[in-house]
Amino acid sequence: MCLRGCYDKKAGGGSLLPGQGSLPRLWGRKKSSVSEPVAITSEALTTPETPASEPLRNADEMAASLNQKVDALVKASPESAKKLEETIAALEKTYLSGNAAGAPEDPIARLGRGFQTFKTNHYNKDTALFDKLKTGQWPKYMVIACSDSRVDPATILGFQPGDAFMVRNVANMVPAWEPKGGYPSVSSALEYAVKHLKVEHIIVIGHRLCGGIKALVTTEEGQGSHDFIESWLEIGKPARAVTKALAGSDDVDEQCKFCEKESVNVSLTNLLSYPWVKEKVIGKKVSLHGGFYDFVEGSFQVWDFDVTISHSKKY
């Protein structure tokens, strides 16, 4: 049985089953059909058939309208190619949102359109990569990042499928080694990445305005109201302690900013409590890195987490 929105393999091109219809030809345009030069203005983005002020009723209608716009624009001058690509990107973004007229978004249709965009722009184009990935994965990176919807590592660092093995959780935390403890989500992923995938780099990425870190900084011991969050954030208690000691007189935002980075270092330190991680770090088979994504100012900071092991001598 296939629920509404499943993809029919026989249909090809990822056509949706009844209820959705086939996705329109928004991305199937021929770029070579450029004809005589036509000046492009902002007005050119609106076709007479579909005035900007006229609300669109559904995704198919919107896509048809966008196709008309695209067809008009491909007749533009070569000098306007950049403008054309920017326009298409904007139209695709609007199309993906599926609610330009303010209508409630159909989540199933949204997922279908998202996958179709990926399949058209990546899966069908980079066949060498995806054929290779059918036989296995050889990521060089393991990434531990926050679950925050704004900080997707693949998006901000340009990872392609197969590049990075990832774990995402609240406040990008790595618990210390604890054999047989609970349900070891992070630990099991770490073990697989290090022992079997043999990743060469492990990077923990913190980020600005992290809700988990704010809860860690501002919630007093025993004052939490959630079922799971406060107990999970206990992993970051050492970072909280350092923050209170070194930045406790600052306002909450500054404390959070400090703790967002300090918690990364706590997780990096915790990584070394795993014997097989420590062994590979000492043997220089694995490197540890900290990262910090500030989407407020649009920056990404990365640093090495150097571990120097000195052998003591006793005379």
Binding-site annotation, residues for Zn(2+): 146, 148, 207, 210
Judge contact between 172 and 259, C-beta under 8 A.
no
Q: How far is the CB of 295 from Zn ion (least distance, A)?
A: 11
**Which residue among 65, 148, 190, 255 contacts Zn ion (CB under 5 A)?**
148
Q: How far is the CB of 247 from Zn ion (least distance, A)?
A: 18
Closest CA to 48 of 63, 75, 68: 68
Of residues 264 and 288, the one with the C-beta less far from Zn ion: 264
Q: How far is the CB of 212 from Zn ion (least distance, A)?
A: 5
Q: What pairs with residue 237 in β-bridges?
A: none
Q: How far is the CB of 148 from Zn ion (least distance, A)?
A: 4
- Own/partner contacts of 304-307, CB < 8 Å, gap of 24 or more, are 305/265, 305/268, 307/272, 307/281, 307/282
- Own/partner contacts of 130-138, CB < 8 Å, gap of 24 or more, are 130/161, 132/162, 133/161, 133/162, 137/162, 137/165, 137/197, 138/162, 138/197
Contact letters for Zn ion, residues 24-63 (x by CB under 5 A)? ----------------------------------------
Residue count at the site for Zn ion (CB under 5 A)? 4
Of residues 148 and 262, the one with the C-beta less far from Zn ion: 148
Of residues 171 and 271, the one with the C-beta less far from Zn ion: 171
Contact letters for Zn ion, residues 197-236 (x by CB under 5 A)? -------------x-x------------------------
Sign of CA dihedral 157, 198, 234, 302: negative
Residue 146 within binding range of Zn ion, rule CB under 5 A: yes
Judge contact between 165 and 202, C-beta under 8 A.
no
Q: How far is the CB of 170 from Zn ion (least distance, A)?
A: 7
Which segments of 98-254 are extended strands (E)? 141-146, 164-169, 201-207
Binding region for Zn ion (CB under 5 A) out of 13-21, 141-149, 214-222, 235-243:
141-149
Binding region for Zn ion (CB under 5 A) out of 5-13, 143-151, 154-162, 234-242:
143-151
Judge contact between 26 and 13, C-beta under 8 A.
no
End-to-end Cα separation, the chain, in angstroms: 75
Residue 262 within binding range of Zn ion, rule CB under 5 A: no
Of residues 165 and 293, the one with the C-beta less far from Zn ion: 293
Q: Which two tokens stand for residue 136?
A: 């296995």
Judge contact between 276 and 194, C-beta under 8 A.
yes
Q: How far is the CB of 211 from Zn ion (least distance, A)?
A: 6
Q: Which residues bind Zn ion (CB under 5 A)?
A: 146, 148, 210, 212
